[in-house]
Amino acid sequence: MAFSMFLRTPACTSRLLSQHMMRLGTQPALKPIETHRTIATINSLKNTLLKTETTPILNSVRSFRTSAVRLASEKGSDHSKLWVVERVTSALLIPLIPLALLSPNKVLDSLLAITITAHSFWGLEAIAVDYVRASIFGPVIPKIAIGLVYLISIATLGGLFYVITHDIGIANSIKQFWAIKAGQKE
């Protein structure tokens, strides 16, 4: 989509660019003398295309980041470490869910609540960052989307901890839901 928008910019639809492209495309083979002229043509074309007033789309493409602004602004951050932590959290859920269901207690319920919330937070954050971009929605909507992700994650973790401390816990709640389903079959 960005490339098609780039091709619609005035710099790409100009007659000068069309003439340069036609001349470059119809040349048979480059002779050594014409190579310098072609390089000069390409450099002038590049200077024309990279002007900020003619191609604002290029500036937005250059500033595009695939991570949260908070992480991108840090100079010494290593995104591969966060990726490893996300994968370890996902892998930790595989034994943790059956273990918490087999022996329900507050410690395992708390670990389950934290890992489920972290796992869902990173998934929702990735969706918000990838699909609610400032180039499409403007500068305000992406910030609202990230704020909603934080709000949903905080409310989820708070609700799960409330169930753990003031009610029967996560694992026992799941067991009760299963008992209701089994009781309906009889």
Q: How many helices (H) and strands (E) does the chain have?
A: 10, 0
DSSP notation for 157-178: HHHHHHHHHHSS-HHHHHHHHH
Q: Is it true that domain 69-185 has CATH number 3.30.70.3420?
A: no
pLDDT (tens digit, 9 = 90+) per residue, 39-80?
666 666 666 655 555 445 544 444 445 455 555 555 556 778
Question: Is pLDDT above 90 for 162?
Answer: yes
By the 8 A CB rule, do 27 and 36 touch? no
Q: Can you tell me the distance from the alpha carbon of 178 to that of 36, in angstroms, rounded to the nearest whole number? A: 77
Residue indicated by tokens 């048979």: 28
pLDDT value for 28: 60
Going by the annotation, the residues of the binding site are 119, 131
Which pLDDT score, from 0 to 100, does residue 80 have?
A: 86
Q: What is the pLDDT of residues 130-160, one digit of tens each?
A: 999 999 999 999 999 999 999 999 999 999 9
- The pLDDT mean for the chain works out to 78
Greater confidence (19 vs 137) lies with: 137
**Does position 83 have pLDDT exceeding 50, yes or no?**
yes
Per-residue b or e along 15-44, where b marks 16 or more CB atoms closer than 10 Å to that residue's CB: eeeeebeeeeeeeeeeeeeeeeeeeeeeee
Give binding residues for a ubiquinone as ranges: 131
Instruction: Locate 70 and state its tokens.
Output: 């908070």
Q: Which residues are annotated as a binding site for heme b?
A: 119
- Domain-wise residue ranges, the chain: 2-62, 69-185
Cα 145 from Cα 125, distance rounded (Å): 9
The pLDDT, as a whole number, for residue 33 is 52
Out of 26-30, 71-75, 95-99, 182-186, least confident range: 71-75
Residue 176 Rama label (left phi>0; alpha psi -120 to 50; beta)? alpha
| The pLDDT of residue 180 | 83
**Which residue, among 127, 130, 123, has the nearest Cα to 66 in the 3D structure?**
130
pLDDT at 118 over 50: yes
Q: Is 131 buried (19+), middle (13-18) or exposed (0-12) by CB count in 10 A?
A: exposed
Confidence of residue 17 (pLDDT cuts 50, 70, 90): low
Q: Is the pLDDT of residue 34 over 70?
A: no
